[in-house]
Structure 1
């Protein structure tokens, strides 16, 4: 069987950079094992499979090269932007997606797409795991930095590096990161530093070896937890601009915009969004 795959870069800046997602349309008749095989052959951090839904505009399922994942920010943005550009989705301002754990809202604003994430839930790693976490990033000398585990749909370990140069020169130990990720049911680590660029709140790096992703250039489902972390750590505003991908081996700077819905000083939900650009199409044999 031949399956057509569409590659769309999400969270681009003026059509450049971003994070590529593979998209498979009309996936209703594909089995779970076939979807996993396609995702492995596509070889990108996530592949999105679009199926019909009786409760939302479309059903979306996400697979990394090694396993299924509940939500994926950049693949969601890529899929809805592409379907809007094709005319498959005709709604002007909003749509919905069905996922394996419920319905999420999608908003359209000019040429950008925004996806809903839940109110954040916080936990913290055990004290005896902190040295392992720091060592897994080569940050053993920065024990005063306290990571948090933040979930807005997926759980990420959020950790602030003391400055950009430290973030830039992180040397990840993927075996240790995977072990911590498995213990705490994390997708991965989202490490950030205060940006030196005007208009950008944080520059970030994301490592998710447990899911077959060594490093990713844009992670919408991690940018949401980071924005919540920034808000609750005193850097309070309703909008954040987060950059990612600048310090990868092959740089691909990406821009993620976060909007927070605040009531009584608490985050009720949030939206992560950005632009997306079609890169190529090809077929995979399964």
Structure 2
């Protein structure tokens, strides 16, 4: 069987960079094992599979090269951007069905925004064995990972461990121990680590980041919408950033660079975040065919 895969650069910064995702449309006939094999062969961090849905605009399933995951931000943006370009969806309020329920999606010209849930937080206790292991997994002293803010697991649909560092050079200099990160991620049921500082390459943005998810076969990723949402919530509710629109840079500090920008819109109700929409723009890069 031949499967056509569109490679879409998602969450681009201007017309460049972004995080490539595979997108397979009309995937109804593929089994879960076939989808996993396609994702393994595509060798991108995530591949999205589009099928018909009885309860939403489309059904979306996401596979890394090693397993299925419930949600993927940049692959959602990639899929809806491609479908809009092909004339299969139009601008406006849409929905996606996932293995974890339905979520709202907004297509507004070139931009696609996806809904995430209100956040939950779990702080890492200073001086704990876990804090020691987290620090060792990124080659830093425990005092440094607590110097700016307390490391915190934030969940808006997927769990990420957010670690604030004092400046962009500190983020850039991190040399991750992927095996150790994977062990902590297994223990805490994380997608991965999201390291950040509030220093950015361009003014008017709120954080510069790096993301490591070896548990899902991703050493480092250049744009992560499902992590940007939790970070925006953390910046607003725990670090005193009062903007309801948060702009996050990713991919600037990795090697090689692939600059990305992620926009997060926060809905505030009674002083708390009730909902958020996360996204940006994407561009189709190429199409490949895979025999399975």
- Shared fold (TM-score greater than 0.5)? yes
Aligned counterparts of 2:187 and 2:228: Cα–Cα separation in 1: 22
- What's the CA shift for 1:85? 1.1
Correspondence list, 1:80-159, <5 A: 80-90=80-90, 92-125=91-124, 127-140=128-141, 142-145=144-147, 146-159=150-163
Q: How does 1:182-261 map to 2 (within 5 A)?
A: 182-196=186-200, 197-233=202-238, 234-261=240-267
1:6 is aligned to: 6
Q: CA deviation at 1:109?
A: 2.3
Give TM-score, length-normalised by structure 2. Answer: 0.96
CA distance in 2 between partners of 1:37 and 1:125 (Å): 37
Displacement, 1:143? 4.8
Query: Residue 80 of structure 1 aligns to a residue in which SS?
Result: helix
Contact kept in structure 1, 2:27 and 2:51, CA below 8 Å: yes
1-structure distance, mates of 2:251, 2:21: 15
Contact 1:93 1:107 in 2 (8 A): yes
Counterparts of 1:94 and 1:272, CA distance in 2? 14
8 A Cα contact 2:145 2:163, kept in partner? no
1:247 CA displacement:
1.5
Structure 2 matches for 1:39-58, cutoff 5 A?
A: 39-58=39-58
Residues 80 and 107 of structure 2 are in contact (CA less than 8 Å); yes or no, is this contact kept in structure 1? Answer: no
Match of 2:288 among 274, 282, 286: 282
Q: Tell me if structure 1 keeps the 8 A contact 2:7–2:22.
A: yes
**SS of the residue 1:142 aligns to:** helix
Separation of aligned partners in 2, 1:85 and 1:36:
26
- Once the two structures are TM-superposed, the CA of residue 23 in structure 1 deviates from its matched residue by 0.4
Partner Cα separation in structure 2 for residue 109 and residue 228 of structure 1 = 23
1: CA distance, partners of 2:28 / 2:107:
25
CA distance in 2, matches of 1:261, 1:36: 35
1:148 Cα deviation from its structure 2 partner: 0.3
Conserved 8 A contact 1:131-1:143: no
State the match for 2:276 in structure 1.
Answer: 270
In 1, the alpha carbon distance for the partners of 2:83 and 2:69 equals: 21
Shift of 1:215: 0.1
- With structure 1 as the length reference, what TM-score do the two structures score? 0.97
